[in-house]
Amino acid sequence: VKPFVIPSPSMEPTLVEGDRVLVNRMVYHFRAPQPGDVIVFHPPNTNSPDPFIKRVVAVGGDTIEVREGLLFVNGVAQAEPFIKEHPIAADFPSERIPEGHVWAMGDNRNNSGDSRVFGPVSLDAIMGEAFIIYWPLGHLQRL
């Protein structure tokens, strides 16, 4: 388990800047990431030395697309009550996620540098799954 501090508003309202979460670094040795998981990872195609935290929305073999303000996975519009605001501001063309990768997006879709910017995330780049907010105490909850 490793602590992680939320560095930006990209995961609002689920996680706010300054929240502290615990990250399970062993979970993906036993199972693959699944849509809905909140992951900490080293982003591809960036010069950022700091890890990012985002939500997995699709896995290898899936096709994603943003159109008409909605996220579509394999042609099905996703019900996403956890995102900050509807609609998603910009369309994103259909893209197939390669095997061994996930597509990660912030819950604050209109203010998130995520896979729409840096592309699919390799499973090897994932540090683990965030599973609980432990600080501040008023935000204590499982993810």
Residues with active-site annotation: 10, 54
Helices and strands in the chain: count of H runs, count of E runs: 1, 12
Q: What is the Cα–Cα distance from 35 to 104, expressed in whole angstroms?
A: 9
* Spatial distance between the Cα atoms of 64 and 57, rounded to a whole number of angstroms: 9
Task: Read off the amino acid at residue 55.
Answer: R
SS3 27: helix
With a CB cutoff of 8 Å and minimum separation 6, the contacts of 43 are 51, 52, 118, 121, 125
The pair of three-digit structure tokens given for residue 5, joined into one six-digit string: 């501090």
